[in-house]
Amino acid sequence: MERRDALKNLGKAFGFAVATPTVLSILQSCSSSDGLAWAPQFFSSEEGSFLVKAIDVILPATDTPSASEVNVHVFIDKLIAECYDAEAQERVKSQLTAFANFVTESTGASSLAAVSEANLVDSFTTLFGDRDESISSDAYAFAGDLRSMTISAYKGSEYIGENVLAYLPVPGEYIACEDLQTLTGGKAWSE
Protein backbone atom coordinates (compact mmCIF):
# COMPACT_ATOMS: atom_id res chain seq x y z
CA MET A 1 0.00 0.00 0.00
CA GLU A 2 2.85 2.40 0.76
CA ARG A 3 4.29 1.88 -2.70
CA ARG A 4 1.02 2.99 -4.31
CA ASP A 5 0.90 6.12 -2.16
CA ALA A 6 4.52 6.90 -3.00
CA LEU A 7 3.87 6.52 -6.73
CA LYS A 8 0.71 8.62 -6.46
CA ASN A 9 2.59 11.40 -4.62
CA LEU A 10 5.45 11.20 -7.11
CA GLY A 11 2.96 11.63 -9.98
CA LYS A 12 1.36 14.63 -8.28
CA ALA A 13 4.75 16.26 -7.66
CA PHE A 14 5.73 15.73 -11.30
CA GLY A 15 2.38 17.15 -12.45
CA PHE A 16 2.79 20.27 -10.32
CA ALA A 17 6.36 20.76 -11.54
CA VAL A 18 5.23 20.57 -15.18
CA ALA A 19 2.01 22.57 -14.79
CA THR A 20 3.36 25.53 -12.79
CA PRO A 21 5.50 27.11 -15.57
CA THR A 22 2.70 26.55 -18.07
CA VAL A 23 0.13 28.28 -15.89
CA LEU A 24 2.52 31.17 -15.21
CA SER A 25 3.22 31.66 -18.92
CA ILE A 26 -0.51 31.69 -19.68
CA LEU A 27 -1.12 34.31 -17.00
CA GLN A 28 1.76 36.44 -18.27
CA SER A 29 0.54 36.25 -21.86
CA CYS A 30 -2.92 37.43 -20.80
CA SER A 31 -1.49 40.47 -19.05
CA SER A 32 0.82 41.50 -21.90
CA SER A 33 -0.03 44.77 -23.57
CA ASP A 34 -1.00 45.30 -27.19
CA GLY A 35 1.18 46.38 -30.14
CA LEU A 36 1.80 49.83 -28.62
CA ALA A 37 4.59 48.43 -26.47
CA TRP A 38 6.33 46.88 -29.47
CA ALA A 39 10.11 46.98 -29.21
CA PRO A 40 11.74 46.53 -32.64
CA GLN A 41 14.45 43.92 -33.02
CA PHE A 42 16.08 45.28 -36.18
CA PHE A 43 14.98 48.91 -36.43
CA SER A 44 15.67 51.62 -33.86
CA SER A 45 12.63 52.87 -31.94
CA GLU A 46 12.49 56.03 -34.11
CA GLU A 47 12.72 53.93 -37.28
CA GLY A 48 10.05 51.59 -35.86
CA SER A 49 7.64 54.49 -35.31
CA PHE A 50 8.42 55.71 -38.83
CA LEU A 51 7.77 52.20 -40.19
CA VAL A 52 4.33 52.11 -38.51
CA LYS A 53 3.41 55.45 -40.14
CA ALA A 54 4.70 54.29 -43.52
CA ILE A 55 2.80 51.00 -43.60
CA ASP A 56 -0.38 52.78 -42.49
CA VAL A 57 0.01 55.13 -45.45
CA ILE A 58 0.37 52.12 -47.76
CA LEU A 59 -2.62 50.28 -46.22
CA PRO A 60 -4.75 52.67 -44.14
CA ALA A 61 -7.80 51.69 -42.14
CA THR A 62 -11.00 51.63 -44.18
CA ASP A 63 -13.73 49.06 -43.67
CA THR A 64 -10.79 46.73 -42.98
CA PRO A 65 -8.06 47.27 -40.36
CA SER A 66 -4.91 49.21 -41.18
CA ALA A 67 -1.59 47.43 -41.66
CA SER A 68 -0.39 48.30 -38.15
CA GLU A 69 -3.63 47.00 -36.61
CA VAL A 70 -2.80 43.49 -37.87
CA ASN A 71 0.88 43.87 -36.76
CA VAL A 72 2.47 44.05 -40.19
CA HIS A 73 5.26 46.23 -38.73
CA VAL A 74 6.11 43.52 -36.19
CA PHE A 75 6.25 40.91 -38.96
CA ILE A 76 8.50 43.05 -41.19
CA ASP A 77 10.88 43.84 -38.32
CA LYS A 78 11.05 40.20 -37.24
CA LEU A 79 11.51 39.00 -40.84
CA ILE A 80 14.47 41.29 -41.41
CA ALA A 81 16.01 40.60 -37.99
CA GLU A 82 15.72 36.83 -38.10
CA CYS A 83 15.72 35.82 -41.77
CA TYR A 84 17.99 38.29 -43.58
CA ASP A 85 21.73 37.71 -43.55
CA ALA A 86 24.11 40.49 -42.44
CA GLU A 87 24.65 41.74 -46.01
CA ALA A 88 20.92 42.00 -46.71
CA GLN A 89 20.34 43.73 -43.36
CA GLU A 90 23.03 46.28 -44.20
CA ARG A 91 21.39 46.88 -47.58
CA VAL A 92 18.01 47.47 -45.89
CA LYS A 93 19.63 49.96 -43.47
CA SER A 94 21.26 51.92 -46.30
CA GLN A 95 18.01 51.92 -48.32
CA LEU A 96 16.07 53.07 -45.26
CA THR A 97 18.59 55.87 -44.70
CA ALA A 98 18.23 56.99 -48.32
CA PHE A 99 14.44 56.85 -48.08
CA ALA A 100 14.42 58.74 -44.76
CA ASN A 101 16.76 61.40 -46.19
CA PHE A 102 14.50 61.81 -49.22
CA VAL A 103 11.38 62.14 -47.06
CA THR A 104 12.90 64.59 -44.58
CA GLU A 105 14.55 66.73 -47.28
CA SER A 106 11.52 66.85 -49.57
CA THR A 107 9.10 67.65 -46.73
CA GLY A 108 11.33 69.87 -44.59
CA ALA A 109 10.87 67.64 -41.54
CA SER A 110 13.64 67.89 -38.97
CA SER A 111 13.63 64.17 -38.11
CA LEU A 112 11.77 60.93 -38.78
CA ALA A 113 9.56 61.59 -35.77
CA ALA A 114 8.48 64.92 -37.31
CA VAL A 115 7.35 63.29 -40.57
CA SER A 116 3.56 63.25 -40.85
CA GLU A 117 1.38 60.81 -42.75
CA ALA A 118 0.63 63.59 -45.27
CA ASN A 119 4.39 63.95 -45.86
CA LEU A 120 4.64 60.22 -46.46
CA VAL A 121 1.72 60.28 -48.90
CA ASP A 122 3.51 62.99 -50.92
CA SER A 123 6.81 61.06 -50.80
CA PHE A 124 5.25 57.76 -51.89
CA THR A 125 3.35 59.53 -54.66
CA THR A 126 6.64 60.95 -55.95
CA LEU A 127 8.49 57.63 -55.67
CA PHE A 128 5.73 55.53 -57.24
CA GLY A 129 5.33 58.03 -60.09
CA ASP A 130 7.78 58.79 -62.88
CA ARG A 131 11.42 58.11 -62.08
CA ASP A 132 13.49 61.17 -61.15
CA GLU A 133 17.27 60.80 -61.61
CA SER A 134 17.99 63.21 -58.73
CA ILE A 135 16.42 60.77 -56.23
CA SER A 136 18.61 57.96 -54.89
CA SER A 137 17.89 54.52 -56.31
CA ASP A 138 18.03 53.19 -52.73
CA ALA A 139 15.03 55.37 -51.83
CA TYR A 140 13.09 53.84 -54.74
CA ALA A 141 14.20 50.35 -53.71
CA PHE A 142 13.12 50.80 -50.09
CA ALA A 143 9.73 52.23 -51.04
CA GLY A 144 9.06 49.36 -53.45
CA ASP A 145 10.28 46.67 -51.05
CA LEU A 146 8.29 48.15 -48.18
CA ARG A 147 5.12 48.25 -50.27
CA SER A 148 5.65 44.64 -51.38
CA MET A 149 6.36 43.34 -47.86
CA THR A 150 3.44 45.29 -46.40
CA ILE A 151 0.90 43.93 -48.87
CA SER A 152 2.22 40.38 -48.58
CA ALA A 153 2.25 40.43 -44.76
CA TYR A 154 -1.21 42.03 -44.65
CA LYS A 155 -2.75 39.39 -46.91
CA GLY A 156 -0.99 36.65 -44.95
CA SER A 157 -2.16 37.83 -41.54
CA GLU A 158 -4.61 35.64 -39.67
CA TYR A 159 -7.34 38.26 -39.32
CA ILE A 160 -7.34 39.27 -43.00
CA GLY A 161 -7.03 35.67 -44.17
CA GLU A 162 -9.96 34.43 -42.12
CA ASN A 163 -12.27 37.45 -41.94
CA VAL A 164 -11.73 39.51 -45.10
CA LEU A 165 -10.61 37.08 -47.79
CA ALA A 166 -12.46 33.91 -48.76
CA TYR A 167 -11.25 31.25 -46.35
CA LEU A 168 -11.82 27.53 -46.47
CA PRO A 169 -9.77 25.73 -43.80
CA VAL A 170 -10.38 22.32 -45.33
CA PRO A 171 -10.73 22.67 -49.09
CA GLY A 172 -13.59 20.73 -50.57
CA GLU A 173 -14.29 19.90 -54.15
CA TYR A 174 -12.54 21.55 -57.06
CA ILE A 175 -14.96 23.50 -59.26
CA ALA A 176 -13.13 24.53 -62.40
CA CYS A 177 -15.78 26.32 -64.43
CA GLU A 178 -17.36 28.74 -61.92
CA ASP A 179 -16.69 32.42 -61.57
CA LEU A 180 -15.28 34.04 -58.42
CA GLN A 181 -18.57 35.80 -57.63
CA THR A 182 -20.46 32.51 -57.43
CA LEU A 183 -17.78 30.66 -55.44
CA THR A 184 -16.69 33.28 -52.89
CA GLY A 185 -19.03 36.21 -53.21
CA GLY A 186 -16.36 38.17 -55.10
CA LYS A 187 -13.63 37.77 -52.45
CA ALA A 188 -10.11 36.64 -53.33
CA TRP A 189 -8.96 33.38 -51.75
CA SER A 190 -6.93 33.50 -48.56
CA GLU A 191 -3.31 32.33 -48.93
Report the predicted TM-score, pTM, of the whole model to 2 decimal places.
0.70
Instruction: Judge whether 161 lies within some domain.
Output: no
pLDDT reading at 156 higher than 70: yes
Instruction: Judge whether 75 lies within some domain.
Output: yes
Length of the chain: 191
Model pLDDT, residue 52: 92
* Number of separate domains in the chain: 3
pLDDT band at 15 (very low <50, low <70, confident <90, very high): low
Q: What is the DSSP string of 85-100?
A: -HHHHHHHHHHHHHHH
Q: Are residues 19 and 110 in the same domain?
A: no
Domain that holds residue 6: 1-32
Instruction: Judge whether 152 lies within some domain.
Output: yes
Distance, CA of 30 to CA of 55 (rounded, Å):
27
Instruction: Judge whether 3 lies within some domain.
Output: yes
pLDDT band at 55 (very low <50, low <70, confident <90, very high): very high
Model pLDDT, residue 70: 92
Cα dihedral sign, 141-64-191-184: negative
* pLDDT tens figures, 18-27: 545 554 454 4
- Computed over every residue of the chain, the mean pLDDT equals 80
Instruction: Judge whether 141 lies within some domain.
Output: yes
Q: Are residues 110 and 173 in the same domain?
A: no
CB 162 within 8 A of CB 70: no
